[in-house]
Each structure stands twice: as structure tokens, then as C-alpha cells.
Amino acid sequence: EVQLVESGGGLVQPGGSLRLSCAASGFTFRNYAMSWVRQAPGKGLEWVSGISGSGGSTYYADSVKGRFTISRDNSKNTLYLQMNSLRAEDTAVYHCAKVPFLEWLSWFDTWGQGTLVTVSS
């Protein structure tokens, strides 16, 4: 069974940093691109960042470009999102999502439960 389990969320002050992790199991992790998608409380879905299966290509939404960094460790079957210079508007549940292909541009066939990031003083 494909499973994605996020961790690392929490309360952080504006301007602070946080690193999210997503542990993957049930599939050959390195063969699939991955993305992070967030959902602010009571709001819709917003794509944040994507990464190819090899990790060699990364992509970001304009709203997080220059502040967030996506990466992956295929030896550990783990996806990461390093979030710096956090703002109140980054408050959301962050989901990792699996892409059904090696390259990133696609739909998302499996979603993790998400981890809540709250940016507040």
C-alpha cells in the first residue's frame, strides 16, 4: 500500500524556519516525482513545489520562490521542504503528494494526511 506520512509542522514565529519531511513507503520512491501542496484553514488547495524523481529538477510557486527549498533523499525514501522567512500567509496544512511519473508535471495520485504549519507571534 502506498503511504505518505508528513512530519515537522508546528508553531513558528514570522521570519522563522521549519523543515517538513514526508516518509514514503509502498512504492519505488526514486521512480516518481513528488510535490508539496498546502491548504490554508478553510481554504482551497495551493501547489507549493515539485521535484523530479532524480531530484535534479525543482519547481516552485511564485509565492514561495526564494524562501522554500524542496529536496529528496532517495536512499531514505523521504521528501523534504525547507521553509525560511515564514509569513502569516504560509499558515496551512502541508501535504506531500505523489506524481504518477518520473517527471513532475502531472496530477497527484496519492496524498499524505498533511502536517499543520502555523506562523504566528
Partner 1 sequence: DIQMTQSPSSLSASVGDRVTITCRASQGISNYLAWYQQKPGKVPKLLIYAASALQSGVPSRFSGSGSGTDFTLTISSLQPEDVATYYCQKYNSAPGFGPGTKVNIK
Asked whether position 69 contacts partner 1 by CB under 8 A, the answer is no
Binding mask 12-51 for partner 1 (x = CB under 8 A): -----------------------x-x------xxxx--x-
Place of cell 502531472: 106
Q: Is 95 in the site for partner 1 (CB under 8 A)?
A: yes
Residues 6+ positions from 92 with CB-CB distance below 8 Å: 38, 39, 40, 41, 43, 46, 116, 117
Q: 3-class DSSP state for residue 6? A: strand
Which residue among 92, 114, 117, 119 contacts partner 1 (CB under 8 A)? 114
Question: Is 12 or 24 the residue whose CB approaches partner 1 more closely?
Answer: 24
Strands 115-119 and 10-12: parallel
Q: Which residues bind partner 1 (CB under 8 A)?
A: 35, 37, 44-47, 50, 59, 61, 95, 105-109, 111-114
